[in-house]
Amino acid sequence: MEKDLQAIVDEATQKLDSVTNRPDWDKVKATILGPNGSLTQLGKGIGKLAKEDRPIFGQQLNRTKKHIEEIFKSAISLIEEKEDLQILGSEIDPTLPPPSNFNGGTHPLTNTRRKIVSIFRKIGFTVAEATETETEWFCFDALNTPEDHPARDEQDTLFFPPDSNWSNIKQKKTKRLSSFEHIHHLFRFEAFFAKNLPSVL
């Protein structure tokens, strides 16, 4: 009986070596572990053995069955891995430059901004360009913003060296820029509303 069990293991290994797809794997499994498979048929012969030999054969049969199941499990894992690689195609080298015919695209935020600008242009608005930084005068003083207004907080304040030249700026109280005079970002006022408007709504 032990030789018969080893012969079934060899049979399963030999047949699985030539299997390359799931349907063939299922067929081989049925011939070994199926209801009419060779291992199943061999197990049915346990009743013909002497009573003292049945426990030993039963243990050998269970060990052989587990071993064969592991062989089939390994075989199907290799088959599925090969199928996945075929679906993915050839391996890609990420260090290579993109092909010459690669066409990039604009950022979604850029597309959204352009759409908004287009809508407002249709109803009479125009787009005005300005500098990226402005002084406290243009951001707040010229708009009569109170000194204690939350928009004057220093989260977005920029500091410039003392030799900075701002010839196009009229200073409050006609004094020159000090070494740490506040130069505020153009969008400080918008940032305040973006931060506080949700709490109001």
Residue 95 lies in a domain: no
The residue range of the domain holding 15 is: 2-88
Residue 100 lies in a domain: no
Domain boundary among 36, 58, 88: 88
Residue 116 lies in a domain: no
Q: Taking residues 159-169, report their average pLDDT.
A: 68
Six-digit token pair at 139? 């951001």
Residue 109 lies in a domain: no
Domain boundary among 40, 62, 88: 88
Q: Quick one: three-class SS letters along 85-153?
A: HHHHCCCCCCCCCCCCCCCCCCCHHHHHHHHHHHHHHHCCCCCCCCCCEEEHHHHCHHHCCCCCCHHHC
Domain boundary among 42, 73, 88: 88
Residue 110 lies in a domain: no
pLDDT of residue 186: 38
Question: Which range, of 40-49, 155-164, 187-196, averages the lowest pLDDT?
Answer: 187-196
Q: What confidence tens digit (pLDDT) does each residue in 32-76 have?
A: 888 888 888 888 887 777 888 788 888 888 888 899 999 999 999
**Number of domains forming the structure of the chain:** 2
Nearest to 117 by CA among 105, 108, 126, 109: 126
Between 130 and 181, residue with greater pLDDT = 130
Residue 118 lies in a domain: no
84 and 141 co-located in one domain: no
Nearest to 25 by CA among 73, 63, 61: 73
DSSP conformation letters of 31-99? HHHSTTSHHHHHHHGGGGS-TTTHHHHHHHHHHHHHHHHHHHHHHHHHHHHHHHHHHH-S---TTSPPP
Residue 114 lies in a domain: no
- Going by pLDDT thresholds of 50, 70 and 90, the confidence category of residue 114 is very high
Residue 73 lies in a domain: yes
Six-digit token pair at 65? 């069955």
